[in-house]
Amino acid sequence: MGFAFSLTRGCLWLHSNSVLGNAARCGASRIKPHDATQLRRAQALLWLHEGWPATEVADLLQVSRQTVHNWVRSFHDRIDRDLPDRLLDTPRSGRPATALGIIDPLIDAVIDQDPRDYGYRCTVWTAPLLGRYLKEVHGIETSCKSVRRAIARLGIRWKRPRHRLGLRPDTWRQAKGGSKTA
């Protein structure tokens, strides 16, 4: 079983005569320099093939020993794929897509209108109300934090109204630095 690396025309080539027990596969595979995951896994497989203990390989690559064993298992399980594809992660669901760019135009289209026109009992849009609108009208569930970020990206600013009495106290001029009589 032989592995060899060579660098030509800005690409790393992983050569194998038999890829970890797969004698039917021969030839060379191209791994692009920006595919760091593939390079790390290829290096781990090469070191394991040369007889290095999994613990040392894990320490050198700064991953756990179990991760190295998982890489070997997934490499063996994907025997029907090309070599570079065998070194990649499998697609997974992961974290849901962000609301970045999705909710911005929706908020921009509605922010200048009165929420009462949409059946809400408020006179101004708030982040929680916009989140509720996005969920009810467009079927997009977002957090208040995402809505606030979208509002900030759009450059929209507003202040909450101050609830103060319209009458001034008798001493308001004095508080502002004026005289008692006026």
Q: Per-residue pLDDT for 20 more than 50? A: no
Q: Per-residue pLDDT for 165 more than 90? A: no
Which strand (E) or helix (H) includes residue 11?
strand 11-16
Q: Identify the residue with better confidence: 101 or 14.
A: 101
Cα–Cα dist 70/92, whole Å: 16
| Residue 58 CB partners (closer than 8 Å, separation 6+) | 64, 65, 67, 68
Is the pTM value of this prediction over 0.85?
A: no
Cα–Cα dist 165/182, whole Å: 22
Q: Identify the residue with better confidence: 180 or 86.
A: 86
pLDDT at 46: 87
Q: What is the mean pLDDT of the chain?
A: 78
Cα–Cα dist 121/132, whole Å: 13
Q: Identify the residue with better confidence: 37 or 61.
A: 61
Q: Identify the residue with better confidence: 100 or 145.
A: 145
